[in-house]
Structure 1
Amino acid sequence: MSCGDHSQPAYGTPEYHSAGAAVMSFAPIQQIHQHICAFHPYAHDKTRATRAHHFCTHIRPDMHQCVIYDGPGDKARLIGIEYIVTDELFKSLPEDEKKYWHSHKYEVESGLLMLVAKPGVSNETMDTAEQPAMRELRKTYGKTIHTWIFDEYPDLPLGPPQLMMSWTNDSDWETEEFKAAVAARDAELGVSTEGKRTLRAAYLPKDGFEPDAKADYPTHCGKSVMLKPVEVDVKPL
């Protein structure tokens, strides 16, 4: 008498993934509702920056949490995380904490930071849809750690994590390499950074807001914080 085939799909195969989706919950990931694309310069090295695709969740009105990939596709590498807080919450942080955070005002106003549309969604639709987000994000700050330094180690996430910042003025990305990176992003997504800059100048509030001077530490102080491994004694049980 045959009892049937009780073999299971091999680990890592599409069949195994489908079986997992049928019996497990992915609730935190399913709360993601926003796809943001921007560029992250290294906090300690202004000559290096990477494109970053953020997939974000609002965990409360004054805070987002985002997982960051190097691209928008299904084979993208998970390269880091970013926490985004409002101006009010940032001002409440301990003073020594603020050096890890960067502002978003320039990124929003310049058009460098943008929401990413699904294929088939027009730029006109997206330009309208992203306006509430841009009004909010303009007055926020991010704390970003990249765990996969893929521009140096493309195959594996080697080395210590790195603190990342944001560009805060036009001169930060005036090199030919950075201009080419922005142009390549725009071409791939079918968007225009300069077009968004012009459009946003018409609808973003002219309220005199300036980021807190304690953010963007490398820009203001010419120094940065690096995350370096330190060997310590293990605390026993």
Structure 2
Amino acid sequence: MASSDKSPNPMPSFGDHRPPGEPMTMGQHMIDKGAQILQSLKPVKQMSKHACTFALYSHDMTHQMETHHFITRVNQGVEYIVSDLIFEALPPEEQKLWHSHAYEIKSGLWVNPRVPGVIERPELENLAKTYGKFWCTWQVDRGDKLPLGAPALMMSPHAVNLGQVSPQQYNISIEALRASRVEIAGPEWINLQADYWKQHGKGFAIDIKSTDMKLSAPFA
């Protein structure tokens, strides 16, 4: 079952766009409130920034999605967004799964909501020289009310053929942002292994197949 632009299985109609399920009970709300007080929730509290942009499906570039990222810094660029130096050290087969960010930043598609331009400028200058790897597990744009099927590899927008997007969802002026970012320097060069679809016209999709389980050795 390859990731595709169609739901892998028919879904019953629930009358709206929310996932199926009953509303939370008062008891569940109380448990959550208590957990917020008593637990550290360290991974959640490490999230330091909200950014939104757009992404396209690697296996079907005609479909785009508005994406929201709640960002946690591990260090200077490890995990899903890496510096150009780290990216260059990756094996070529791995590099094919990553995308560059220069166009996304300079075109005004990458937005940090309600963050003044003077504050976000240094961050944008750094991001313009980075690469990203993004797996989508819930294809809400096709109407899925649950995370169905295989995850899909996503690609960053570009100003060529299928890489273009229509940022109609934003209630801001993309043109103004683009003009304000003209002087942001992009990388000296973008590795041709990234944005693989641009050079080769091919994307990547995941197939789900059954496989024999590895059995642990019996206890002595």
Same fold (TM over 0.5): yes
Q: Deviations over 1:79-99 (max 9, x none)?
A: xxxx00000000000111011
Contact 1:10–1:16 (Cα < 8 Å) also in 2: no
- The residue type paired with residue 169 of structure 2 is A
The aligned residue for residue 133 of structure 1 is 123
Return 5+ residue gaps in structure 1 as ranges.
Answer: 1-8, 66-82, 118-124
Distance 2:146 2:123 in 1: 34
Return 5+ residue gaps in structure 2 as ranges.
Answer: 1-23
Distance 1:234 1:173 in 2: 39
The aligned residue for residue 18 of structure 2 is none
- The residue type paired with residue 84 of structure 2 is D
Task: Go from structure 1 to structure 2 and tell me whether the alpha carbon gap of 1:34 and 1:170 turns closer, same or farther (over 3 Å shift).
Answer: farther
1:194-205 alignment, distance < 5 Å: 194-202=175-183, 204-205=184-185
Q: Deviations over 1:128-180 (max 9, x none)?
A: 11101110000000000000111224311111100000112254465xxx42x
Distance 2:39 2:26 in 1: 15
Distance 2:27 2:34 in 1: 11
Deviates more, 1:218-227 or 1:89-98: 218-227
**How many Å apart are 1:40 and its aligned residue?**
0.7
1:26-105 alignment, distance < 5 Å: 26-63=41-78, 65=79, 83-105=80-102
Distance 1:210 1:221 in 2: 18
Distance 1:12 1:99 in 2: 48
Distance 2:67 2:209 in 1: 28
**How many Å apart are 1:184 and its aligned residue?**
2.3
Instruction: Report the identity percentage.
Output: 33
Distance 1:208 1:233 in 2: 45
Higher strand share: 1
Distance 1:40 1:218 in 2: 14
Distance 2:83 2:116 in 1: 23
Counting matched residue pairs gives 193
**How many Å apart are 1:42 and its aligned residue?**
0.2
Distance 1:19 1:97 in 2: 43
CA RMSD of aligned residues (A): 2.0
- The residue type paired with residue 211 of structure 1 is I
1:169-180 alignment, distance < 5 Å: 169=159, 171-172=161-162, 178-179=165-166
Contact 2:156–2:163 (Cα < 8 Å) also in 1: no
**1:217 and 2:202 correspond:** no
Contact 2:96–2:196 (Cα < 8 Å) also in 1: yes
The aligned residue for residue 229 of structure 1 is 208
The aligned residue for residue 141 of structure 2 is 151
Q: Secondary structure at the match of 2:61?
A: strand
Higher helix share: 1
Q: Deviations over 1:68-115 (max 9, x none)?
A: xxxxxxxxxxxxxxx000000000001110111000000001001111
Q: Which has the higher contact order (CA 8 A, sep 6+)?
A: 2
